[in-house]
Amino acid sequence: MDCLFCKIIKGEIPAKLIYRDDYVVAFDDINPQAPHHKLIVPLKHIDTLNALHIEDNELIGHMMQTAKMLAKNLNIDEEGYRVVMNCNAGAGQTVFHIHLHLLGGRQMIWPPG
Ligand code: AMP
Ligand code: ZN
């Protein structure tokens, strides 16, 4: 499958990995939008949030727990951070393998653009 994040998971494309377990990897976004910008990506390929099944509930929960853990490790948990998943092109999704953006280290604005 021609998927950028599957290739990163398999080690075929380099990335600055900061975390890996049996379910997810996390690495630096190549085009950071904040001083801290990490991507939390499930090992399982799922195109978009629309393709999520009930049996993926534990996986999604684990992705959020990973975001929480990384935010604490980065020491941005108290000042604040943002976790975002874009679904489809209209929301800005460009890589069609679901992922959480973890953004922090600056003041966030609302609503996002
Ligand atoms: P999205 O637009 O929500 O699909 O997010 C995709 C993210 O992947 C963007 O923030 C990109 O900067 C990031 N990205 C694209 N290619 C790479 C790469 N090779 N390594 C790390 N991050 C990447
Ligand atoms: Zn993939």
Q: For the domain that residue 41 is a member of, what is the CATH number?
A: 3.30.428.10
Q: Is residue 67 part of a domain?
A: yes
Q: Does 99 qualify as catalytic in the annotation? A: yes
- The range of the structural domain enclosing residue 57 comes to 4-104
The response to whether residue 48 sits with its C-beta less than 6 Å from ligand 1 reads: no
Whole-prediction pTM: 0.98
Q: Which atom of ligand 1 is nearest to the CA of 13?
A: 19
Q: Is residue 46 part of a domain?
A: yes
State which of 9, 29, 88, 93 you would mutate to test the pocket of ligand 1, scoring each by most atoms of that ligand within 8 A of its C-beta: 29
Q: Give, using CA atoms, the residue closest to atom 19 of ligand 1.
A: 30
CA neighbours within 13 Å on the CB side: how many for 104? 20
Q: From the CB of residue 65, how many other CB atoms can be counted at a distance below 10 Å?
A: 13
Residue 1, pLDDT > 80, answer: no
Residue 88, pLDDT > 80, answer: yes
Domain tally, the chain:
1
Residue 71's pLDDT is 98
- CA–CA distance from 19 to each of 3, 16, 66 (Å)? 20, 9, 9
Q: How confident is the model at residue 113 (pLDDT cuts 50, 70, 90)?
A: confident
If you measure from the C-alpha of residue 99 to the centroid of ligand 1, how many angstroms do you get, rounded to a whole number?
A: 9
Taking only the tens place, the pLDDT of each residue in 6-65 is: 999 999 999 999 999 999 999 999 999 999 999 999 999 999 999 999 999 999 999 999
Residue 107, pLDDT > 80, answer: yes
If you measure from the C-alpha of residue 40 to the centroid of ligand 1, how many angstroms do you get, rounded to a whole number?
A: 11
Residue 81, pLDDT > 90, answer: yes
Q: Is residue 113 part of a domain?
A: no
Rounded-to-integer distance, Cα 111 and Cα 20, Å: 31
